[in-house]
Structures are given as C-alpha cells and as structure tokens.
Amino acid sequence: GGGGASFFGLEAQGSRFAYIVDRSSSMRGAKMTRTRTELGQSVSGLTENGEYLIVFYSDEPEALGGRARWRDASERSKQDARRLIESVVPMGGTKPMPAFELVFGQRVKPDAIYFMTDGRFGDDVPVKIESMNRRHRIPVHCILFGEPSRSSALVQDVRAMMQRICDDSGGLFR
C-alpha cells in the first residue's frame, strides 16, 4: 500500500513497481521517444516511500543502471533514472521471458508489474508468467504499443496473449 503508479495511462496501487519494457529494434524512432517520456513520467510520479525496478529487454534483459535491484523513489534516484532512460538504445529481438525471470527472482516482490511491448513474443510466455506468478498473484498490467504486424491474425494473437497475462494475474490491458 501507500501509493500508486501510472504507465501509459494504466493505474496500479502499491509502493513497489517493476517495469518490463521492450527495447527491441522495432522500438526505434517515435516509439522509443514516447516510451522514454511515459517511463520518465511514471517514475517521476512515484511517492518518496516507493521503490521501482526497470528492466529493458530485447534478446537479453538489462536492468536500468546495470544492476537488478530495487531503487528508492527519492528525487535524486528519479532524476538518475530519467537520465539513464534517455540513454536506452533499441536493438535486437522481442524476448521478454528473461526479464520476467529477473523480476520474479527478486527476494522482495513488486506490488505490480508493467509489461510493455510492440511486438510478437513466444506463444509460451503467458503460461510461463502464470506459472511464475501462481504463488504471489502480482497484477501484470500489459501495454501493447502500436501494432506488431500488418497481419490482422498476428495482431489478434498478440492481443490475446497480452489479455491472457492480464486475466491470469488480475492486471489491466491497454
């Protein structure tokens, strides 16, 4: 308890938030610019008693600042985070599972997880997330940014997977 967060318009309650954010090659340009802005605003809005962990992913996960640890939401920490967020460069594929493993592997669990992607990921991801989250039941709020393909069938597949992650965890989908 004790606060909340908002990312791409999705509200979450609590004081400890994990962000799992796509930085694959398809995020180049305006998508990454908007993502940096939204993420910076979300971190800025956290209360001083809050904590956060940001993990960018492509082929491999990369925790903001190089270490997967909870950061306090002090003004100094948030300023440092905004600076580091601006230096993230899109590259690679769309493989979110190692980032989820990193977040769920933390000794202290988040109150909510934000998961943002613009692309297609493995069909097994929703089932694996559900399995990792079965004990803790942490809400995973999913953001599908843009359309992952011109193929309407592929778009529907990604939407369905994101919706399943939300439904399984009690999270919201946008």
Mean pLDDT for all residues in the chain: 93
Length of the chain as a residue count: 174
Mean pLDDT of 108-128: 95
Checking if the pLDDT of 153 tops 80, the result is no
CA–CA distance, 70 with 111 (Å, rounded to integer): 12
Q: pLDDT band at 1, cuts 50/70/90?
A: very low
Rounded to an integer, what distance in angstroms lies between the CA atom of residue 40 and that of residue 17?
14
**Dihedrals phi, psi of 82, to nearest 5 degrees:** -60, -40
At 3 the pLDDT is 82
User: For 125-150, what is the mean pLDDT?
Assistant: 89
Task: Enter the tokens of residue 84.
Answer: 């580091």
Q: Give the span between the Cα atoms of 85 and 82, in whole angstroms.
A: 5
Token pair 């369905």: residue? 160
57's tokens? 């992913």
Rounded Cα distance, 24 and 35, in Å: 12
3-state SS, residue 62? strand
Tens of pLDDT, residues 57-100? 999 999 999 999 999 999 999 999 999 999 999 999 999 999 99
Residue 40 pLDDT exceeds 90: yes
Distances (CA, A) of 137 to 134, 146, 169: 6, 27, 6
Matching residue, tokens 């993990």: 55
- The answer to whether the Cα torsion of 24, 26, 29, 31 is positive or negative is negative
